[in-house]
Amino acid sequence: MPYILAFDQSTSATKAVLFDETGRCLDREAIAHGQHYPRPGWVEQNAEEIWQNLLAVGRLLLARNARVVADLRCVSIANQRETVVIFDRETGRPLHPAISWQCRRGDDICAAHVAADRAPEVQAKTGLRVDAYFSASKLQWLMQEQPGLRTAIVAGEVLIGTIDTYLIYRLTGGKTFATDPTNASRTLLYDIVQRRWDEELCALWGVPRAALAEVRESKAHFGETDLGVLPRPVPICGVMGDSQGSLFGQRCLQPGMAKVTFGTGSSVLLNIGSEPRRSKQGVMTALAWVLDGVPIYAFEGIIINSAAALTWLQKQLGMVAEVREIEFLAAELADAGGVHLVPAFSGLGLPHWCPAARGAITGLSAFSDRRHVARAALESIAFQLNDALETMQTECGLPVHGLKADGGPTANRLLMQFTADITGVDLTVCPTADCSALGAASMGLLGMGVDPLPGPMASPSDAEVTYRPRMHPSAADGCRAGWRRAVRQVLAGALDPGALQGA
């Protein structure tokens, strides 16, 4: 039986997952990496730490499962998207901290392009908004602020790429400089209809086209690696951005099928078929995957800070020792008592797209305690998801009868039930939290000539758990109305710093 080693390099950790060809997870290993905040709104990661962690989790997993090494068919990669790395062509070593997708240092650059009326052109080609969330403004900032790096990039001595590109380069010892369409399409430099890097977009953002990686289909071969421990090199095959990997791994293969990946930020993807559609309300058109030359598109709603709110309570406020304790605190109450936490730590995404928004806790009274804040933080994840889903449904005209869910927070039963109540749709949780890795592994099997249908995408349904709405519709309406009042206060504060005081 062939086995697949899939890496899921996420915002907060690097995970290695071992699958067999039926999609059964045999073992996993994970190591967290640091997040660095050099200035308000700036978020960086240590790309060398990420690389060393990938080696460590891969080697630990293989050492524990030595019996399968001889039958390891390929290595697959799912990764956090939009985050960019600048690395040396000769050594592969990073020359600047990785700039996270969460980082807002490109806000002024994006605002200038919007003021110059370049946004319609960018959206028409990329399906995305002009926003610092995506890679291009981060790269333009680097080219402007780091003249030494800019000179080296133009000279071809330094390369730029998303996390997948960087890891593939390191895994292959610099032999493969490549990415896949799902990652390329998150940069604001890639035309999702023509499916190629766009020279005009590269010029707009000041990024040399020659510094960008070759784009290969997700199921293509991306070179070989031995991870420093394998007896023979194995192909790297199956590369996808984590959210698209989850859509593929969750078997959302037909138009109208949707999934949400709960994480630091959350991504809602709705399959819209082989023809791209455009939104007038800020819904993004994503390239879900390209398979044998056929593109599949999706509507995407971005929630910039979802489970990040829980981590903030733990690490920044010291409210709990472990994030899982938040569920226990929240469960002591029937509701949040009118308290709302709007986690706009780095702006608000769909449907508001307000990068200037900042977080707030509203509705506090002398009766409120940490349990109310804990519950409000959990509920904020569901409220933001509902805002995105409602907008996507309106725009696409496709009925969404249910929602697939994956990611670590799906273990939180209170959150899952509240999400079903607020969205009013059945929420089906995949029994594995590793759907992004599963999707990449499925693509890897396709690339190795093994048909995974049925296969990796059939096994999750065996033990799916479905949460059905239980809250009375009028009560759900009241909850949504309270949330929207809190969001309006935050949006008002973004326009007028004194508005929150007066609200």
The pLDDT tens digits along the chain (503 residues) read: 789 999 999 988 999 999 988 888 889 999 999 989 999 889 999 999 999 999 999 999 999 998 888 889 999 999 999 999 999 999 999 999 999 998 999 999 999 999 999 999 999 999 998 999 899 999 999 999 999 999 999 999 999 999 999 999 999 999 999 999 999 999 999 999 999 999 999 999 999 999 999 999 999 999 999 998 888 999 999 999 998 998 998 888 888 888 998 888 888 898 988 888 877 777 889 899 999 999 999 998 888 888 889 999 998 899 988 888 999 999 999 999 999 999 998 888 778 878 888 999 999 999 999 999 999 999 999 999 999 888 888 887 777 767 899 888 888 899 999 999 999 989 999 877 788 899 999 999 999 888 765 444 444 445 678 999 999 999 999 999 999 999 999 999 877 655 444 43
**DSSP code at position 340:** E
pTM, whole model, 2 decimals? 0.82
Q: How far apart are CA 101 and CA 368, in angstroms?
A: 34
Question: Which CATH fold topology does 252-304+388-467 show?
Answer: Nucleotidyltransferase; domain 5 (3.30.420)
> What is the Cα 242 distance to its own chain's centre?
6
For residue 127 the two structure tokens come to: 């399906």
Residue 278 CB neighbours (<10 A) = 12
Which architecture does CATH list for 308-376+472-502? Answer: 2-Layer Sandwich (3.30)
What is the SS3 assignment for 322? coil
How far, in Å, are 141, 148, 184, 326 from residue 145 at the CA level?
6, 9, 23, 41
Dihedral sign, Cα of residue 314, residue 318, residue 324, residue 330: negative
Q: In angstroms, what CA-CA distances link 343 with 125, 129, 183, 489?
A: 31, 21, 26, 13
Q: Report which secondary-structure segment, H or E, holds 390.
A: helix 370-396
- Tokens 């045999």 -> residue: 26
CATH code 3.30.420.40 region(s) in the chain? 3-242, 252-304+388-467, 308-376+472-502
Among 46, 54, 146, smallest CA distance to 100 is for 46
What is the end-to-end Cα distance of the chain in Å, rounded?
63
Please name the residue that has the structure tokens 């090494």. 69
Gap between the Cα atoms of 492 and 497, Å rounded: 8
Topology given in CATH for the domain delimited by 3-242: Nucleotidyltransferase; domain 5 (3.30.420)
- Residue found by looking up tokens 């990073």 in the block: 94
> How many DSSP H helices and E strands does the chain contain?
16, 23
